[in-house]
């Protein structure tokens, strides 16, 4: 009886984790799956733009731990279904947004299917003239990886940006 309950729980959990409608809704903030990026860290420049009066600035800082790893995970960042750039290893990127509610997506660009299916999402409401900071981290599991994409306070965000190289990215042709 106990084994049957465990099996029923496992099958139910597996089925709910693979709900195509839920996955599609969660991934709607991402861009098209076939878009790939080239990205590299650039420590020769350190842009930190201030927001225009009618827009907000969003920073996404990727933390890969204490290792300096310029060839670590490349993650694509999406906003409302369009890719806005990519972070390579421990780095940051930034972009501007109009005021209002926004949906962010982070997706690991990898040739390994188990990694390329890994993504995280976040929602925020931007106000004109404000700066928003998000931190992404990768957590290895037993058989796969998971991400988090969390808003962080401005003090922590400024520190992470100041101690990270900027990521320069462009879509592959």
C-alpha closest to that of 136 among 169, 84, 88: 88
* Residue 39 or 4, more confident: 39
The answer to whether residue 157 scores a pLDDT higher than 80 is: yes
pLDDT band at 7 (very low <50, low <70, confident <90, very high): very low
142 found inside a domain: yes
What whole-number distance in Å separates Cα of residue 173 and Cα of residue 163?
31
Q: Provide, rounded to the nearest whole percent, the portion of the chain with pLDDT above 70.
A: 75
57 found inside a domain: yes
What is the number of alpha carbons within 13 Å of residue 49 lying toward its C-beta? 16
As a whole number of angstroms, the longest Cα–Cα distance in the chain is: 64
Alpha helices by DSSP H, 86-153 = 113-116
pLDDT given for residue 103 in this prediction = 96
135 found inside a domain: yes
pLDDT given for residue 28 in this prediction = 78
* Residue 15 or 62, more confident: 62
Name the residue range of residue 163's domain.
Answer: 28-171
Here the tokens at position 150 are 């969390």
5 found inside a domain: no
pLDDT digit string, tens, across residues 37-93: 999 999 999 998 989 999 999 999 999 865 555 557 899 999 999 999 999 999 999
66 found inside a domain: yes
Q: Identify the H or E element spanning 20.
A: helix 20-27
pLDDT given for residue 13 in this prediction = 39
Q: What is the pTM of this model?
A: 0.81
* Structural domains in the chain (count): 1
126 found inside a domain: yes
C-alpha closest to that of 131 among 167, 149, 155, 107: 155
Q: What is the mean pLDDT of residues 143-169?
A: 91
Look over the chain and give the mean of its residue pLDDT values, rounded to a whole number.
83
Interior/surface letters 128-138, b for 16+ CB within 10 angstroms, e for the rest: eeebbbbbbeb
6 found inside a domain: no
Q: What is the CATH number of the domain that holds 82?
A: 2.60.40.10
68 found inside a domain: yes
């Amino acid at each position: 009886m106990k084994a049957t309950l465990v099996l029923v729980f496992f099958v139910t959990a597996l089925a709910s984790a693979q709900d195509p409608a839920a996955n599609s809704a969660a991934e709607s903030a991402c861009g098209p799956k076939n878009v790939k990026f080239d990205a590299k860290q650039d420590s020769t420049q350190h842009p930190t733009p201030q927001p225009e009066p009618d827009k907000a600035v969003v920073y996404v800082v990727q933390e890969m731990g204490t290792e300096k790893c310029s060839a670590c995970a490349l993650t694509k960042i999406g906003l409302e279904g369009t890719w806005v750039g990519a972070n390579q290893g421990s780095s940051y990127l930034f972009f501007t947004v109009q005021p209002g509610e926004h949906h962010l997506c982070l997706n690991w660009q990898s040739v390994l299917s188990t990694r390329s299916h890994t993504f995280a999402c976040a929602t925020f409401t931007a106000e004109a003239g404000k700066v928003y900071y998000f931190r992404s981290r990768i957590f290895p599991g037993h058989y796969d990886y998971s991400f988090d994409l969390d808003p962080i306070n401005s003090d922590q965000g400024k520190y992470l940006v100041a101690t990270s190289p900027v990521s320069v990215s462009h879509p592959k042709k």
